[in-house]
Chain A
């Protein structure tokens, strides 16, 4: 059986001052997956990426990447990883090409191969024409793309991306998405942390939600979304409505004369809803989710955890 690309067992990290980074986390990412790691600020996402890359040392537990233990086989584990950190971490005074070429050398590529790969990855991220330019002059989005190019230069099997599209404009974000999809289709396992929940929903086939250093939800993206208790739909009406219709078992709010909000419970199909509305004379012209579905799931799980914590405290 193929070893998982990433495997954490009972991994814990507590920082100086007592802040919990991770609390006994178990996590397995099979090879070839596009895995999303979500969570509020300070949830432990960056700590987890830091532990995988050895920038953060675990207090206990076992961490393996591509089957190699990062504590005892660090060189082999790191050789199969590419890392895109959250913060810009290259020397801005250096030219773009030199930054990528140097990283290629650190991964053991010969000078000729390093030059070739640098050209290829800069082309891939749309920075080929900036190769000789100082990184100082790049826009924020370009700097992020440069970090992606740097992480790809040695053809990693596992790519760790810590909020790679933070501050990137819409077009740049979609270009990055396409690039990541293509890499994943080529067999690269991707672990992505992001604050953009629509990004996770669009890209990730499985995900975990972290909160206060613990995983509060995990699974295939589709399954997790299917498990939503309720989703709020916004209906645009064909004709104005003076009063809010009342339907048994449904919470309906009238936003204005042309718009209704309805909480659709798990198990109820949209067609059934339309039929019941139609029976009351309400015709629907358009429909959308009020929130991104993953956002609903995220908020639901964080709220459940907060409620459980309060219950345990009383």
Chain B
């Protein structure tokens, strides 16, 4: 009985989150699409023609997996950050806190909203890339698995950001100054093996490098290491971040007095 009630509550939370980002879909979904088109036109075609092929594929095809996973990660992250911070700011987080909901369900509700937006943005980016690239699907499980777990990881990380943010400035700091640079330096635009040292070794320390490479393997069949390794590392990291988010919400950090 309680399980059914939790199911209805979870459904209610997810619907609320999805309606929230769809109400402002132009602001929430289109920027990733526009940015990707610009990247593919300018770097993929105009500059990419001069660069030739990378790992045996056109440059536009090479950068596409990174652009898709960038859209997935940043959309999942910012969705939950803004949703959670907004709920704290306007105090409608109290609607959830006074209801008979365990902390893990609140975390799951917010994270699922982020995952849906992340995957939707990734799908839109892939769709608009079709006229500009030879979009392939080399390994369905790797592609979907890495996209899903990346979206979940970033959604949960976004919740931590939303929990600790004290102003709207704080909601964009991590995404702008940490995540985006890490993805750009994680082999999005170039194969890391072509980089000189110490950059190549430093890239190996960048967790987002594995995400980009794993997703690239899923689409193109080319990557530096086994996709399954990437997948399980991401799953492990997701569980840790999810555990931290659950513990903080359960303790009421920044949401209860």
Binding site for B on A (CB under 8 A): 15, 50, 53-57, 74-76, 78-79, 81, 83, 85, 87-94, 98, 101-111, 114, 150
Contacts and interface: CB of A to CB of B under 8 A. Distances in A.
Contacts of B185: none
B98 A55 contact: yes
Contact of A55 (B2, B90, B94, B100): B94
Given A76-B100, A98-B19, A57 B8 contact: no
A127 B9 CA distance: 24
Contact of B6 (A94, A108, A114): A108
Interface stretch (B10-18, B65-73, B146-154, B217-225): B10-18
B92 A91 contact: yes
Contacts of A54: 97-98, 252, 256
A55 B255 CA distance: 8
Most chain A CB neighbours (cut-off 10 Å) among B12, B101, B252? B12
Contacts of A56: 256-257
Nearest to A103: B95
Nearest to B86: A91
B12 A89 contact: no
Q: Is the interface of B mostly helix, strand, loop or mixed?
A: helix
23 contacts: A54-B98, A56-B256, A57-B252, A57-B256, A57-B257, A74-B100, A75-B100, A89-B90, A89-B92, A91-B86, A98-B16, A98-B19, A102-B13, A104-B12, A105-B9, A105-B12, A106-B12, A106-B13, A108-B5, A108-B8, A110-B4, A110-B8, A111-B11
Closest 10 CB pairs between A and B?
A105-B12, A108-B5, A106-B99, A89-B91, A79-B100, A78-B100, A75-B100, A56-B257, A53-B98, A83-B98
Nearest to B10: A105
B23 interface: yes
B98 A75 contact: no
Q: In the complex, which of the residues B8, B96, B101, B252 has the most CB atoms of chain A within 10 Å of its own CB atom?
A: B8
A53 B257 CA distance: 12
A80 B11 CA distance: 21
A128 B6 CA distance: 28
Given A106-B95, A106-B99, A111-B11, A55 B5 contact: no
Contacts of B6: 108
A15 B256 contact: no
Nearest to B105: A106
Contacts of A114: 8, 12
Interface in B20-49: 20, 23
Interface residues of B, number: 31
Contacts of A57: 252, 256-257
Interface of B: 2, 4-6, 8-9, 11-13, 15-16, 19-20, 23, 86-87, 90-92, 94-102, 252, 256-257
A104 B5 CA distance: 10
Contact of A106 (B20, B91, B101): B101
A30 B82 CA distance: 42
Contacts of A150: 95
Contacts of A50: 257
Contacts of A93: 23
A241 to B, nearest CB: 56
Contacts of A103: 95, 99
Contacts of A107: 5, 9, 99-100
Contacts of A104: 12
Contacts of B19: 94, 98
Nearest to A57: B256
Nearest to A51: B257
B8 A78 contact: no
Nearest to B1: A108
Contacts of A90: 92, 95
A53 B97 CA distance: 8
B46 to A, nearest CB: 41
Contacts of B12: 101-102, 104-106, 114
A44 to B, nearest CB: 13
A103 B100 CA distance: 11
Contacts of A74: 100
B103 to A, nearest CB: 10
A105 B4 CA distance: 11
B15 A55 contact: no
Contacts of A75: 100-102
Contacts of A85: 91, 94
Nearest to A78: B100
Given A87-B91, A110-B8, A81 B257 contact: no
Nearest to B91: A89
Contacts of B100: 74-76, 78-79, 106-108
Contacts of B102: 75
A78 B11 contact: no
A65 to B, nearest CB: 11
A258 B236 CA distance: 85
A109 B13 CA distance: 13
